[in-house]
Amino acid sequence: MATTADIRNGLCILYNNDLFTITEFQHVKPGKGPAFVRTKLKNIKTGKVIDNTFSAGHKIDIQRVERRAHQYLYSDDMGYNFMHNETFEQVAIEKEMINAPQFLKEGDIVEIVYHADTESPLFAELATHVNLEVTYTEPGLKGDTASSTALKPATVETGATVNVPLFINMGDKIKIDTRDSSYVERVKE
């Protein structure tokens, strides 16, 4: 069993019978009293972030997780269906377990994180940025190519709506940040 000296960002631990990842940590050695580690823990199932303080030397239960590349196939009433790239094994995952399901397109590669001991999928992550084509937006204003402060809604090929600058037109390919569903840039072809 590990101790607080082994804490690092991204580490998966078992805490209060739930799986958490460590998003932030800070070792603190005050002038008086014992040292401790201040952490931010993100619940893998719910996504809720909690603050927790461990005393120095506290035993933590590290859990092994594996990231495996899967290809998105389709969605149905069972969930979103993915295929493992090497074994061709298929797995269905609930919408709540995917970080940005509104940007999933057939054939996209997604990393599914598995709990290594139980072989159960924990969550799925799209790439940080995806390139999608704009299928509908109001026409841009002529001459407004430099302004990025004014935004308008645009529908992309997956059906999701993203706020884009006024100069974006239908047929343009745009880069989207999947973490906050924001427009990044127009993709040059």
Q: What is the pLDDT of residue 54?
A: 93
Is CATH 3.90.1200.10 what the domain over 129-186 is classified as, yes or no?
no
Mean pLDDT in the chain? 89
Residue 98 bridge partners (DSSP): 124
- Going from N- to C-terminal start, the domains of the chain cover 2-62, 65-125, 129-186
Residue 143 has pLDDT above 60, yes or no: no
Query: Who's near 81: CB < 8 A, 6+ residues apart?
Result: 72, 73, 74, 75, 90, 91, 92, 93
**80 pLDDT exceeds 90?**
yes
- Average pLDDT rounded to a whole number, residues 28-57: 91
Q: Do the domains spanning 65-125 and 129-186 agree at the CATH topology level?
A: yes
pLDDT of residue 46: 81
Selected from 2.40.50.140, 3.40.50.11710, 1.10.1200.10, 1.10.3720.10, the CATH number assigned to the domain covering 65-125 reads 2.40.50.140
Checking if the pLDDT of 141 tops 70, the result is no
Name the pTM for this structure.
Answer: 0.76
Percentage of residues in the chain having pLDDT higher than 70: 95
pLDDT digits (tens, 9 = 90+) for 163-173: 998 888 889 99
The pLDDT confidence band at residue 147, using thresholds 50, 70 and 90, is low
Q: What is the CATH number of domain 2-62?
A: 2.30.30.30
Q: How far is CA 51 from CA 20, 42, 92, 108, in A?
A: 11, 9, 32, 34
Residue 22, token pair as written in the block: 């460590």
